Structure 1
Amino acid sequence: MSKSMNPLSRRRFVGAAAGVAGAATVWGMGSATTAVAAEGPASPDRTAAWRGGKSANGWPLVGEVPTQLIEGSEVSVPVLNGDVATILLHVARRFHYEIDTLRSGEVVGHTTSRTVAADYESNHLSGTAIAIRPSSYPIGMRDGLYPHELVVIRDILTEMDGTVAWGGDAKTPKESHFHIALGPGHPKVKGVARKIQGWNDAPGQGAGTVDAFEPTRRRAAAAFTS
């Protein structure tokens, strides 16, 4: 199936095929799995103007951040410079390599708009959050990703060792959303960023070289999630 078809239209195709043939199968997860589309976006808890000088994760709000290239792609996104950029760009890069090719306009970063539908969306105001294809994986909707894509997401989160939170785990979900989960100055943020930078400086390591389905990594992700 063409990768140019977005995830929601792919699920509509699978659902239609299931109605005719009896079942639709997603590859690579051991047993056959049917992709199920959600009925539609659930209503977010609220839409309101974020108040205060810090985002929900404790980072100061900023008026401007640099736009930075997601390596390996032609896509750029505005994110806070330094360790935050190193981590969030790595997340986006792995999505690009292992889930689907990113295209211009598909990754949202820093914003100055204080309108949020969930507290975690305020993290865009501090430049510490990105949303990958938010129109395809909108707030309030679950089951937007195939099982094999979820394996990659869980592997990324495990690799980031608690420095990154995923909107798919939130009470009001947003599967496109990723943000820095720890506050400014937390040593783990610096440590994970240093680890990623080491991979970037050493050929054959890091994004583009990872097998999220390798049994040791699958076990580590299962332990991290539990």
Structure 2
Amino acid sequence: MSKFKTPSRRGILTGGLGLVGGALAVTGLPSTAYAGDRPQPSEATSTWSKDTSANGWPVTDHDGIAPHKVEGSPITVSLRGGDSATVLLYVARRFFYELDSELRTEDISGHTTDRAVAAAYESNLLSGTALTIRPGAYPLGAKDGFFPQEIQVIRDILADCEGIVRWGGDEKLPKESHFQIDVKPGDKKLPRVAAKIRSWDTTPGAGAGAIDPFTPQRRRDADALARTQAA
């Protein structure tokens, strides 16, 4: 049984329950039982021996890795620098704003040097191109840790990232806490999406904190991407 304590404020409100400042309000919606509170499947681990992680990025002990602040939050997370960090930090920022405003640094894991993996995609943490958010709450092999409205927010975040981020909830062996860069180094789409995200920081009313993921067009875009990313 997990000892993870369910936060007192978790979840999002749908349209009839209100929006605050264009972003979804995080309030006292009754908490879903965390996946970590359920019996877990056995997790056979192996040692990742390759020089690149599953998404094609170089595995590193420290080169290019640095702590990054998640803007608007008290959180820092260690990631590979550059465009990949820009995109992953956008994911973390929106998760904090719209899904769980009680997140702290200890709730997010980024780069690791531990080569023990239970699924190949976990190796992407070794290259600093993935992060996990509350991994104890949404562990490997568990599904349905989020409300349907929360899933829509996650889908909307992925749509903003235009498919260069993959969610562990879409894997055949799911891990709903996991988000990774899903393109190889040098892919031209990554710098374009990163530049789009950075531009939102200087555009009033754009980007994290100013998004309604439940508008019809955003729903359509999120659903279309979801169909392409399903395992």
TM-score of the aligned structures, taking structure 1 as reference length: 0.84
Q: Secondary structure at the match of 1:79?
A: strand
Compute the displacement of 1:6 (Å).
8.1
Instruction: Note if 1:87 corresponds to 2:73.
Output: no
* Alpha-carbon distance change, 182 to 28 in structure 1, aligned in 2, over 3 angstroms: same
* Alpha-carbon distance change, 201 to 29 in structure 1, aligned in 2, over 3 angstroms: closer
How many Å separate the matches in 2 of 1:100 and 1:170? 23
Structure 2 residue aligned with 1:52:
50
State whether residues 40 and 141 of structure 1, in contact with CA within 8 Å, keep that contact through their aligned partners in structure 2.
no
How many Å separate the matches in 2 of 1:199 and 1:40? 42
Structure 1 residue aligned with 2:59:
61
Amino acid at match of 2:41: A
How many Å separate the matches in 2 of 1:42 and 1:159? 33
Aligned positions of 1:195-206 closer than 5 A: 195-206=196-207
Q: Secondary structure at the match of 1:92?
A: helix
Compute the displacement of 1:203 (Å).
2.6
Q: Secondary structure at the match of 2:105?
A: coil
How many Å separate the matches in 2 of 1:111 and 1:177? 14
Aligned positions of 1:20-169 closer than 5 A: 28=14, 40-44=39-43, 46-64=44-62, 65-101=65-101, 102-169=103-170
Percent identity at matched positions?
A: 49
Residues 92-118 of structure 1, C-alpha deviations (whole Å, 9 max, x = no match): 000001111122301100000100010
Instruction: Note if 1:4 corresponds to 2:4.
Output: no
Amino acid at match of 2:147: Y
Q: Secondary structure at the match of 2:106?
A: coil
- Larger Cα Rg: Structure 1 or Structure 2? 1
Compute the displacement of 1:62 (Å).
1.3
How many Å separate the matches in 2 of 1:4 and 1:207? 22
Residues 15-67 of structure 1, C-alpha deviations (whole Å, 9 max, x = no match): xxxxxxxxxxx96389xxxx6876532334x3011011100000001112100
Q: Which ranges of structure 1 fall in alignment gaps of 5 or more residues?
A: 11-25
Q: Which ranges of structure 2 fall in alignment gaps of 5 or more residues?
A: 1-5, 17-31
How many Å separate the matches in 2 of 1:175 and 1:130? 11
Q: Secondary structure at the match of 1:58?
A: coil
Amino acid at match of 2:185: P
Q: Secondary structure at the match of 1:172?
A: coil
How many Å separate the matches in 2 of 1:100 and 1:77? 16
Amino acid at match of 1:40: P
TM-score of the aligned structures, taking structure 2 as reference length: 0.82
Q: Secondary structure at the match of 1:165?
A: strand
Amino acid at match of 1:63: D
Structure 1 residue aligned with 2:3:
none
Q: CA RMSD in A?
A: 2.2
More deviation, 125-134/200-209: 200-209
State whether residues 6 and 136 of structure 1, in contact with CA within 8 Å, keep that contact through their aligned partners in structure 2.
no
How many Å separate the matches in 2 of 1:29 and 1:168? 25
How many Å separate the matches in 2 of 1:106 and 1:43? 23
How many Å separate the matches in 1 of 2:15 and 2:202? 33
